[in-house]
Amino acid sequence: MMKRLLITGAAGGLGKICREGMKGYADVIRLSDIAPMDPAGPNEEVVQCDLSDRAAVIELTKDVDGIIHLGGISIEAAFDDLLQANLAGTYNLYEGARQNGVKRVMFASSNHAIGFHKRTERLDETARLRPDSLYGVTKCYGEAVASYYYDKFDVETVSVRIGSCFEKPRDRRMLSTWMSPRDFISLMKAIFDAPMTGNLVMYGVSDNKSTWWSNEHAKFLGWHPQDNTEQFRDEIEAAFPEEDRHDPAVIYQGGMYAARGHFED
């Protein structure tokens, strides 16, 4: 069993799911966020920390065996904000991992790293990076940092290009991109159970009938998603009008992220 697992972004949506779902997975779970969190329960440590503060992050990653890195800005935003939270934040995290000998990181990448691919394409890990937003660009950067820290320093990473991880799909697009919280947690466990991962890029998506992404190359993880969106299809199709296939938000996998103009204009 792992001694200490660090979860960044622990006050966020996925962070809360992880706090609950990973209970008992390690002797100690260290929870961190810039925002306040509920007080530590049994076998938990709570450390409030800004990922852009390098010295604090080096301290945060001490005596840690694995990291689930969820912290950062999770939507499109101004470059200067992304610069601190996602670019400096991810660099600091990997520096901490290297300096403190952390073996493996799960990096929460996003489908917005490849969001300018069309929905008619089926992608695997070899797909060309086609970010659909400044936010998506920061996820490409995170994947590149992970690659560098593996090749040069042996810090393993699984970069998971998460689709849409919420309780239920929220629109027609999410019938293809949805990942259930249950599948998210089983993937986190599979990532840290695996004897080795190297530097792996994969998609965080449930077993949806209409998926655009293939995880054939990641089968060695032994992860089998249990859920799919067919149970929600009738409800979603009744609630949202039929899509216009000429609409860029429908043409591209990133949806509105691809269709919107530049955030800073």
150-170: b or e for each residue (b if 16 or more CB lie within 10 Å)?
Answer: beeeebbbbbbbbbbbeeebe
232 by DSSP, 3-state: which? helix
Residue 223: both structure tokens together? 């992860």
* Residue 85 · residue 91 · CB < 8 Å: no
Instruction: Say how many Å lie between the first and final Cα of the chain, rounded.
Output: 50
Distance (Å, whole) CA 223 – CA 191: 8
C-beta atoms surrounding 231 within 10 Å:
10
Among 74, 86, 138, 208, binds ligand 15L (CB under 6 A): 74
With CB under 6 A as the contact rule, which of the stretches 117-125, 162-170, 186-194, 195-203 interacts with ligand NAI?
A: 162-170
Q: Are 187 and 68 in contact (CB under 8 A)?
A: no
Least Å from the CB of residue 246 to ligand NAI: 26
- Residue from 85, 123, 155, 200 binding ligand NAI (CB under 6 A): 85
Residue 110 in contact with ligand 15L, rule: CB under 6 A: yes
Q: Using the rule CB under 6 A, which residue among 5, 14, 97, 175 binds ligand NAI? A: 14
d(CA 185, CA 91): 25
Stretch that binds ligand NAI, among 68-76, 151-159, 225-233, 253-261 (CB under 6 A): 68-76
Give dist(CA 86, CA 97) in Å, integer. Answer: 16
The residue from 94, 135, 150, 252 that is catalytic is 135
For this structure, is 252 an active site residue?
A: no
| Closest to 69 in 3D by CA, of 111, 6, 27 | 6
111 in contact with ligand 15L (CB under 6 A) = yes
> Could you say which of ligand 15L, ligand NAI, none residue 177 binds, taking C-beta under 5 to 8 angstroms by partner kind?
ligand 15L
- Pick between residue 83 and residue 246 the one whose CB is nearest to ligand NAI: 83
Instruction: Give yes or no for residue 249 binding ligand NAI (CB under 6 A).
Output: no
Q: Which is nearer to ligand NAI, 205 or 251 (CB)?
A: 205
Tokens 């590149």 label which residue?
Answer: 144
CA 54 to chain centre: 21
Out of 19, 22, 29, 52, point to the residue binding ligand NAI (CB under 6 A): 52
Residues 128-147 that bind ligand NAI (CB under 6 A): none
Q: Residue numbers of the site for ligand 15L (CB under 6 A)? A: 74-75, 110-112, 164, 177
Catalytic residues: 135
Q: Residue numbers of the site for ligand NAI (CB under 6 A)? A: 9, 11-15, 33-35, 50-52, 70-74, 84-85, 89, 108, 110, 162, 164-165
